[in-house]
Amino acid sequence: MIRIGGATGYWGEADLALPQFLAEANLDFIVFDYLAEITMSIMARAKAGDPEKGYATDFVSGVVAPHLDSIAQSGIKLISNAGGVNPEACGAAIRQLVDTAGLSLKVAVVTGDDLTPRLDALLDAQPREMFSGDRPPPRESIASANVYLGAFPIAQALDQGADIVITGRCVDSAVTLGACIHRYGWRPEDLDLLAAGSLAGHLIECGPQATGGNYTDWHEVADTLHEVGYPIAEIEEDGSFVITKPAGTGGCVTIGSVGEQLLYEIGDPEAYELPDVICDFTEVSLEQVDIDRITVRGARGRGVPESYKATITWADGWRVGMVGFYVGAQAAEKARIFADEAIQRARRKLSAMNASDYVDVSVEVIGDESHWGESARYVRSREVAVKIACRHEDRRATDLLMRELAGVGLGAPPGFCAFAGTRPKSSPVIRLFSVLVDRKLVDVQVHTAEQSVPFNTDMSAELLTATQAVGSASEFPAMPDTDANLVEVPLEKLAWARSGDKGDKANIGVMARKPDFFPWIVAILTESYVASRFSHFMASSEIDRFVLPGLPALNFVLHNVLGGGGIASLRNDPQAKGFAQILLDTPVKIPESLLED
């Protein structure tokens, strides 16, 4: 068995994990995930200003440097994608720390994800965007272009004796799977094992989201979240594993907390595509074997994608937004007049200058009963938050709206209040453009202080699977025939749920607390019902519903629902973090006897 701790889920996360894991003492690996798509564009801008930047500098200064002696003494190996768009510079900074301390830790760097040197050739081929079919963005607007690498190069770095492995863009779960491949010698054709290792990585890649963070039953751990424990995966050679956390830490490890994380940000659970394997999670089972210990089994592999996925980030104008508050009677109505007044003034000035109108303007009154749509069940509030945002190709136009909002205070309806300070500043709109890239075009290298070794793994044509040939075929349970007395309860009483984003798509995973509840949940949560709950957000009615019988659970994918997603969106919730909370309010009719049981 190997024990792997998941220390971070994003760049800027709290620094609780590493001290916990070092105190735990008996870990083999600690893995760190820093990279979201937007993070790559931020790092690309940093590198453009300074060729020595472009990586997660706090991994060097805040994680490795303060604990370097303890890391060396423990024998724990670190694997991190902190390299961002400049993994060589990140590796060099860590080597300097090691040399200054007089230690013998070996640092390896994996490169090859950066497609910028080949960008012209890639764009000349006029690739279409994977989901929208759009043509590529203008060359001069592109901030970064990176392919998602897999786990085998990481394993090769470990095979060469690395104590610390730094990568650029790789899939989040690869840092965990790479450790498994290295330790157990798993091969490209061991698809079920690769799927299991990938699932373990998926469960710990977001840190404490598997151990009580963002948990439906948050009230059970509310008084311990200030010291929440970070997840540990104990992985066997046969691919079965246990999720746990360091002793004496806060949070929890339950079927609900782990199941929610399993459902987080996946699409078709029967075809969850990664560079090394197409995973099938539909028959995964969870078992509580002890306090804070969940055994996970049942992941399967269905092939390997023919191509790598690559993401291009590009600048598409400017955006800005502000949040204020209105109090008193008719607070929502007053907030809308306040916003509309400033928007009208800004538009008149743009027109007078013969400038184009705003590409998009968003006004959201949070706390008003209409904000979450007609299906939401809220009472009229005497206190609301009002968020006003806009997007324009010219920064001067976005700055203009902020000036007008600051200037209407004395001529607006009464009751406006805000935290004192400077006006919000405009920032670039960063969009994603996802494409498929031929594996042969990607040159992966593993670098140590002594040498650079090309990565090459032979993969048979039979192993590579056309991604379009793989799709969900699991059946949904039928509604039971019953004449029992039915009672209506909120979905939250019957299920756990978690939501997230992938670009402009949102996913909502819903897992039954008991198998007997599941058919009743399936009966109400149809595609049309879920679409109606979010119709005020959706640019189209496209929605997919998938089933995971092993948990049992449903997964919904809502298309074109986030206003562009990430920092291209003007929404108050551009990453769909609140979508599950909306759905958990759904009334469900169920036999009273099931609730009594």
Lowest mean pLDDT among 143-152, 294-303, 308-317, 531-540: 531-540
What is the token pair recorded at 165? 């492995």
Q: Higher pLDDT residue, 49 or 256?
A: 256
**Does the residue 216 lie in any domain?**
yes
Q: Are residues 64 and 173 in the same domain?
A: yes
Is position 144 within any domain? no
Residue 109 has pLDDT above 80, yes or no: yes
CATH of the domain at 364: 3.30.70
pLDDT at 541: 78
| CB distance 525 to 495 below 8 Å | no
Determine what percent of the chain is predicted with pLDDT higher than 70: 96
Q: In residues, how long is the chain?
A: 597
Q: In degrees, to the nearest 5, what angle opens at C-alpha 111 toward C-alphas 106 and 112?
A: 160
Residue 310 has pLDDT above 80, yes or no: yes
Cis check for the bond before 552: say yes or no (omega within 30 of 0): yes
Query: Does residue 203 sit in the same domain as residue 105?
Result: yes
Domain of residue 567: give its range: 486-596
Distance CA 195, CA 201 (A): 10
Mean pLDDT, residues 275-280: 96
Instruction: Say if residue 425 is in the same domain as residue 539.
Output: no
User: Taking residues 502-516, what's their average pLDDT?
Assistant: 95
Please check whether residues 459 and 414 belong to one and the same domain: no
448 vs 157: CA distance, rounded Å:
8
Angle at 535 between CA 269 and CA 393, to 5 degrees: 95
Are 398 and 448 in a shared domain?
no
Q: Which residue has the higher pLDDT, 190 or 132?
A: 190
Q: What is the pLDDT of residue 467?
A: 57
Q: How far is CA 233 from CA 12, 21, 237, 244, 531, in A?
A: 23, 12, 13, 6, 36
Q: Does 385 share its domain with 459?
A: no
Q: Confidence class of residue 45 from pLDDT cuts 50, 70 and 90? A: confident
Same domain, 426 and 447: no
Same domain, 211 and 332: no
The H-or-E segment that residue 523 falls in is helix 518-524
Whether residue 536 is contained in a domain is answered as: yes
- 168 part of a folded domain: yes
What is the spatial distance between Cα 445 and Cα 348, in angstroms, rounded to a whole number? 56
Report the range of poorest mean pLDDT among 247-251, 375-379, 404-408, 460-464: 375-379
Each residue's pLDDT tens digit, 384-436: 999 999 999 999 999 999 999 999 989 999 999 988 788 899 999 988 899 99
Short-list 311, 314, 313, CA closest to 148: 311
Phi, psi of 139 (to 5 degrees): -55, -40
Residue pLDDT, tens place only, 512-557:
999 999 999 999 999 999 999 998 888 777 999 999 999 999 999 9
Who wins on pLDDT, 417 or 379?
417
pLDDT band, very low/low/confident/very high, at 469 (cuts 50, 70, 90): low
Residue 27 and residue 161 share a domain: yes
Q: Distance between CA atoms of 497 and 20, rounded to whole angstroms?
A: 28
Supply the angle between the helices 191-204 and 255-263 in degrees, to the nearest 10: 110
pLDDT: which is higher, 56 or 373: 56
What's the pLDDT score for residue 470? 59
- Clarify whether residues 215 and 349 are in a common domain: no
How many other β-carbons are positioned within 10 Å of the β-carbon of residue 594?
17
pLDDT at 420: 79
Instruction: State the pLDDT at residue 466.
Output: 59
Pair 90, 59: CB distance under 8 Å: yes
Return d(Cα 241, Cα 233) in angstroms, integer: 7
What pLDDT sits at residue 338?
97
Number of independent structural domains in the chain? 3
Q: Is residue 553 one of the residues assigned to a domain?
A: yes
Statement to judge: residues 102 and 64 lie in one domain: yes
Nearest by Cα to 508 from 516, 496, 520: 496
Structure tokens at 399: 């700055």
Window from 237-246, 392-401, 467-476 with minimum mean pLDDT: 467-476
Answer whether residue 36 is part of any domain.
Answer: yes
Output the pLDDT for position 378: 47
**pTM summary value:** 0.94
Burial of 133 (0-12, 13-18, 19+ CB in 10 A): exposed
Compute the mean pLDDT over every residue in the chain, rounded to the nearest whole number. 92
Kindly state whether residues 261 and 341 are assigned to the same domain: no
Q: What percent of the chain has pLDDT over 90?
A: 80
Query: Looking at the domain assignment, is residue 375 inside a domain?
Result: yes
Check residue 376 and give its pLDDT.
43
pLDDT confidence bin for 474, thresholds 50/70/90? confident
Of 334, 313, 216, nearest to 264 by C-alpha is: 216
